[in-house]
Each structure stands twice: as C-alpha cells, then as structure tokens.
Chain A
Amino acid sequence: DVLMTQTPVSLPVSLGGQVSISCRSSQSLVHSDGNTYLHWYLQKPGQSPQLLIYRVSNRFSGVPDRFSGSGSGTDFTLKISRVEPEDLGVYYCLQSTHFPDTFGAGTKLELK
C-alpha cells in the first residue's frame, strides 16, 4: 500500500496566521491517465470529514480561497492563509491513484 506521511502531527496557529501542511507519498501519485489523485480533507471536531482540495490544487465547491494546494509526484502541500476559528480540526491527505486508497495520519490544527 502507498504510505502517506503527513507533517507536522500538530500545528499551533494564531488566528489570522498562515500555515502549511506537508504530505509525502511512498511512490509517485501520477496516474497512468496523467492525473494526480491527491486530495485534502478537514475533519472538524465531532463532524465527518469534508473535502477541501481535490486532485492536488482544485478547491471543492464552497471552499474559500484561503485554502490552496500544490505539489507533484510524491510531495504535496496544503496552505491555509488568514486562519479562522472554523479552520481548526484535523487535516488529512488522501491518495486514490493506487489501490487501495490510503490516508495520511492527520495534522491537528489548533490555537496557540
């Protein structure tokens, strides 16, 4: 299975600040169809995960432009600017290029 390594595990932030979360895969996530199936989710406390970014850099419907995704191959980053209270929770990356789909272990974004 593809191993997804997320760092950091915990990320203290001040409201209004900017943070980056890294996700690295144990093999390239470029699919034979040319797409890269790397996605980002946020799980707020007590809620189910919600999709933020799909295929590396595409914001899902309703996701503010404070969220941006980048990367290629095996190295990916989620950036959050002007952090707001509703951004707090656990962020997960997911690869669906290779069977089976695998998630990163999560990064907890919390207030300093």
Chain B
Amino acid sequence: EVQLVESGGGLVQPGRSLKLSCAASGFTFSDYYMAWVRQAPTKGLEWVASISYDGGSTYYRDSVKGRFTISRDNAKSSLYLQMDSLRSEDTATYYCVRLGDYWGQGVMVTVSS
C-alpha cells in the first residue's frame, strides 16, 4: 500500500524558515517524480514544486522560486521542502504527491506574527 506521510508543519513568523518532510513507503521511491502541492484555507489546489527521480531536475512555481527548495533522499525514501523567507500567502496545507496519483494527508503551515 502506497503511503505518504508529511511532517514538519506548524506556526512560523513571516521571514522565518520551515522544512517539511514526507516519508514514502509501499513503492520504489526512486522510480517516481515527486511533488508538493498546497491548498490555502478554503481555497483550491496549487502546484508548488516537483523533482525528478534522482533529484537532478527541480521545478518551482514563480512565487516560491528562490525561497523554496525541493529535495529528496532516495536511500531514505523521503521528500523534503525547505521553505525560507516565508510570507503570509504561503499559509496552506502542503501535500506530498507521487506523480499526481497518490497524495499524503497533508501538513498545515501557518505564517503569521
């Protein structure tokens, strides 16, 4: 059974940093592109970043480029999202997603003073 379990969310002040993690199991992690997708409270879905099988290629939406870094550790079957210079508009539930098919349960990030 495919499982994606996010962790690392919480309340953080604007301008500070937070790192999200996603532990994957039930499939060969290194065989899949992975992504982070977010959902602001009561809003729709927004793709944030993606990473290739070996981490050699990464992709970001414009609003997070230069502030967020997606990475992976295939040996640990884990996906990460380092979020720096956080803004109030980054407040959302962040989902770890496998190639658009399986989603984690999500982790809440609140950016507020």
Residues of A within 8 A of B (CB): 39, 41, 43, 47-51, 54, 60, 92, 94, 96, 99-106
Contact = CB atoms under 8 A, between A and B. Distances in A.
B103 A49 contact: yes
Contacts of B106: 48
Interface of B: 35, 44-47, 50, 59, 61, 95, 100-106
18 contacts: A41-B45, A43-B45, A47-B105, A48-B103, A48-B104, A51-B100, A51-B101, A51-B102, A60-B101, A94-B45, A96-B100, A100-B47, A100-B59, A101-B50, A103-B44, A103-B45, A103-B46, A105-B44
A105 B101 CA distance: 19
A106 B47 contact: no
Contact of B103 (A39, A50, A96, A102): A50
Contacts of A41: 45
Contacts of B61: 100
Nearest to A6: B44
Given A51-B100, A60-B101, A100-B59, 4 more contacts: A48-B105, A49-B95, A51-B101, A51-B102
Contacts of A49: 45, 95, 103
